Amino acid sequence: MNYSFTTLWNRLFLMVGPVWALLVWMIWTSGQLRTPAHQQIYLGLVIPGFILIYLSGFLIQKRHAKKIQDMQS
């Protein structure tokens, strides 16, 4: 592998991010979110969810690196 995990993970999210945003926009404009409360709940789940998925990749990578290090010791 020629790139670090961080580089590959960031590139993945640069490709997935616009697709995610398109999906969010399509749902937002579909008329299914009828009240401001629905819109707040939707944004309150979608935005933190995207960030959580992004950050969880680094947590998984850190745990994997520790596991590999423990196996080599």
What does the pLDDT read at residue 2? 83
pTM for this entry? 0.79
Q: How far apart are CA 15 and CA 41, in angstroms?
A: 26
Q: What is the pLDDT along the chain (73 residues), one digit of tens a residue?
A: 688 899 999 999 999 999 999 999 999 999 999 999 999 999 999 999 999 999 999 999 999 889 888 888 7
What does the pLDDT read at residue 59? 94
What does the pLDDT read at residue 1? 67
Question: Residue 1: CB partners within 8 Å, gap ≥ 6?
Answer: 8
What does the pLDDT read at residue 72? 87
